[in-house]
């Protein structure tokens, strides 16, 4: 049974006379307006959720690399890995954390602090800004002595209003 016949049975005089039409123009305009409003609300939410996901990934990668640097420093302070004289016990480059370092007193045993250098989700590359122990905390150029901290090279600003390079 079609909707037209059902309406005729219920009692619509116009439908009972044999006129069986579709939706009215007012109904179509209201539905179109509702769809536009819903799309207008959903689009910014979807855009921000993708950006928020990248920001979460950036925080995770920064935390992993900083933890690896701190673990390297703990090993050097405990004299479990060899360090260069006059250095502060931090790795000389990020690749050292991936390649590993020989343990003192053990033959053919290396300790690795990272499996690989993560990709910066904001730039799409595995290049990171580096700071050495001798640099200022907000320095944007690397002194080259050691790797004390890492930061994103992205020039973008996070949803919280803080530039990614300052995270």
DSSP states of 45-113? HHHHHHHHHHHHHHHHHHHHHHHHHHHHHHHHHTTSS---TT--S--SSHHHHHH-EEPTT-TT-EE-S
Q: How far is CA 109 from CA 77, 79, 96, 112, in A?
A: 19, 15, 15, 10
pLDDT confidence of residue 144? 78
Average pLDDT over residues 4-10: 55
Query: How many angstroms separate the CA atoms of 11 and 26, rounded?
Result: 22
Domain containing 56 equals 3-166
Query: How many angstroms separate the CA atoms of 82 and 44, rounded?
Result: 52
Q: Indicate the number of domains in the chain.
A: 1
Pairing of strands 101-102, 149-151: unpaired
Q: Regarding predicted confidence, which is higher, 102 or 7?
A: 102
Average pLDDT over residues 121-145: 85
Q: Regarding predicted confidence, which is higher, 15 or 60?
A: 60
Q: Which residues pair with 149 in a beta bridge?
A: 131
Of 13-17, 20-24, 56-60, 107-111, the range with the lowest mean pLDDT is 13-17
């Amino acid at each position: 049974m079609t909707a037209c016949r059902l309406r005729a049975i219920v009692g619509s005089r116009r439908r009972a006379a044999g006129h069986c039409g579709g939706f009215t123009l007012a109904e179509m305009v209201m539905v179109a307006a509702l769809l536009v409003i819903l799309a207008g609300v959903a689009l910014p939410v979807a855009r921000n959720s993708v950006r928020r996901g990248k920001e979460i990934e950036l925080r995770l990668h920064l935390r992993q690399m900083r933890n690896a640097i701190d673990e390297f420093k703990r090993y050097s302070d405990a004299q479990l890995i060899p360090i260069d004289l006059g250095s502060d016990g931090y790795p000389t480059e990020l690749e050292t954390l991936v390649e590993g370092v020989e343990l003192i007193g053990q033959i053919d045993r290396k300790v690795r602090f990272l499996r690989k250098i993560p990709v910066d989700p904001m730039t799409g590359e595995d290049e990171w800004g580096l700071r050495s122990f001798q640099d200022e905390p907000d320095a944007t150029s690397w002194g080259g002595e050691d790797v004390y901290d890492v930061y994103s090279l992205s020039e973008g600003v996070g949803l919280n209003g803080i530039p990614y390079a300052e995270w």
